[in-house]
Amino acid sequence: MTDSTSLITSIPGVCGGHAIVKGRRWEVSNVVMNLSSVDAWRPEQWIAEFALADWITPEEVLAVLRYCRDKQCQADGLTCCHCTLNPKEGSDPDDSDEEPVNGWELAAQALERLGKE
């Protein structure tokens, strides 16, 4: 099993300094938001579709889900767009009109459903 923190990073000036998958411009929050918008909520199919599109590997998706489930963003002091978890006091995690989601809860549910923890 790969440690989720080894595949997740934050780089000032890249994607607003939010947590991203290393080597990609995929924000952790965008991956989880994509999961929240799936109509027939089946994370197995969702991960397979990502892998087919070559956007992100299944290992990277699992690292993202573990990162969120473990609330690693709090330890890292990062704010994710679209997420209700906002470790930076007084800052808005999302400037858009979209309703924030409980990303860490979605991630935990997906990992549980996948039988990955």
At 86 the pLDDT is 55
Tell me: pLDDT of 4 over 80: no
- What tens digit of pLDDT does each residue of 46-89 get? 788 777 877 788 889 899 989 988 888 878 877 776 676 655 54
- pLDDT, greater one: 117 or 18: 18
> How far apart (Å, rounded) are the C-alpha atoms in residues 23 and 26?
9
Question: For residue 112, what are the CA distances in angstroms to 13, 52, 63?
Answer: 34, 23, 14
> How far apart (Å, rounded) are the C-alpha atoms in residues 4 and 25?
16
Give me the residue label for tokens 């979605």.
106
The model's pTM: 0.76
SS3 state at 53? helix
